[in-house]
A and B are shown apart, each in its own frame.
Chain A
Amino acid sequence: MSPSKTGLLEPHVTLDATQREELQRRDIKKHDTAVILLHWFNVSIWVTELATGGALLAGSAYQIAPAWWRTFMIAVFGSPSMILKVHITAGVLWTLVLLVYGIFGFRKYLVPTVTNYLIPDWDDFVWMKNRGLLILGKRVDLPPQGMYNGGQKLYGLAVYGGSAVIIATGLIMAFHLGPPWLVQWSILFHFLAVGGIFAGLFVHVYMGAVLTEERPAFYSMFTGKVPELYAYRHHYKWWRQYKEIETQWRADLAREAAADAKADSATSEDDK
Chain B
Amino acid sequence: MTTYGMVIDMKRCVGCQACVAACKVQWGAPEAESRDWVVPIGPVLDSEGLVSTFYVGLCMHCDKPACVEACPSKATYKRADGVVVVDADLCIGCGVCIKACPYGARYHHEAREKVDKCDFCASRLDQGQEPACVTTCITSCRHFGDLEDPKSDVSRHLPGSHRLESVDAQLGPNVRYLAGERQWKLIHDRYAPPAPELSTPAWLLSRVARPLILAAIGAAFLGQAVAFFTQLRRGEHPIEE
Which residues from chain A sit less than 8 Å from chain B, CB to CB?
20, 24, 56-62, 64, 70, 79-81, 84, 173-174, 176, 180-181, 183-185, 187-188, 191-192, 195-196, 198-203, 206, 210-212, 215-216, 227, 229-230
> Are A206 and B228 interface neighbours, CB within 8 A?
yes
Given contacts A187-B72, A202-B221, A212-B231, contact A196 B213 (CB under 8 A): yes
Is B224 touching A212 in the complex (CB atoms < 8 A)?
Answer: no
Which residues does chain A contribute within 8 Å of B221, judged by CB atoms? Answer: 202
In whole Å, how far is A71's beta carbon from the nearest beta carbon of chain B? 12
Contact with A along B81-97 (1 / 0, CB 8 A): 00000010110111110
- What is the bound-complex CA distance between A61 and B93, given in angstroms? 18
Within 8 A of A (CB), among B119-171: none
Q: Which of A202, A212, A216 contacts B236 (CB 8 A)?
A: A212
A59-B74 contact given A180-B93, A184-B95, A203-B224, CB 8 Å threshold: yes
CB distance from A182 to the nearest CB of B (A): 9
Are A184 and B201 in contact, with the CB atoms below 8 A?
yes
User: B216 is contacted by which of A174, A180, A196 (Cβ under 8 Å)?
Assistant: A196
- Asked, given contacts A80-B74, A188-B205, whether A199 binds B216 with beta carbons under 8 Å apart, the answer is yes
| A191 near B92: Cβ-Cβ < 8 Å | no
Contacts of A181 in B (CB 8 A): 95, 199, 201
Find residues 207-241 in chain B having any chain A CB closer than 8 Å to their own CB. Answer: 209-210, 212-214, 216-217, 219-221, 223-224, 227-228, 231, 236-237, 240-241
Question: Is B72 a contact of A57 with CB atoms below 8 Å?
Answer: yes
Given the interface pairs A185-B201, A192-B209, A229-B241, the reply to whether A84 lies near B89 with Cβ below 8 Å is yes
Name 25 A/B residue pairs within 8 A (Cβ), A-sorted.
A58-B72, A58-B73, A61-B70, A61-B198, A64-B210, A81-B90, A84-B92, A174-B92, A184-B96, A187-B94, A187-B201, A187-B205, A188-B202, A188-B204, A192-B213, A195-B213, A196-B213, A199-B217, A203-B220, A212-B231, A212-B236, A212-B240, A227-B241, A229-B241, A230-B241
B228 and A64 contacting across the interface, CB-CB below 8 Å: no
| Interchain CB contact under 8 A, A59 and B70 | yes
Kindly state the separation between the CA atoms of A227 and B217 in the bound complex, as whole angstroms. 32
Q: Within 8 Å of chain A (Cβ to Cβ): is B71?
A: yes
Nearest Cβ in chain B — how far from A61, in angstroms? 4
Residue in B93, B206, B214 whose CB lies within 8 Å of A183: B93
Interface check B108, CB cutoff 8 A: yes
Contact of B98 among A57, A176, A180, A210 (CB under 8 A): A180
State how many residues of chain B have any CB contact under 8 Å with chain A. 44
A200 touches B220 (CB 8 A): yes
Task: Name the prevailing secondary structure of the A interface residues.
Answer: helix
Question: Which of chain B's residues have a CB closer than 8 A to the CB of A58?
Answer: 72-74
Judge whether B217 and A62 touch: CB under 8 Å.
no
Q: Is B69's CB under 8 angstroms from A176's CB?
A: no
Q: Please, how many angstroms separate the alpha-carbon atoms of A212 and B125 in the complex?
A: 63
Query: Closest CB of chain A to B68's CB: distance in Å?
Result: 8
- Separation of A210 and B228 alpha carbons in the complex (Å): 8
Pick from A62, A196, A201: contact of B206, CB below 8 A. Answer: A62
| Chain B residues in 8 Å Cβ range of A200 | 220
- Give chain B nearest CB distance to A32 CB in angstroms: 24
Q: Which residues of A contact B209 (CB under 8 A)?
A: 188, 191-192, 195
Please determine whether A202 and B89 come into contact, CB atoms closer than 8 angstroms: no
Whole-angstrom distance between the alpha carbons of A183 and B237 in the complex? 53
Known: A59-B69, A188-B209, A191-B209. A64 touches B214 (CB 8 A): yes
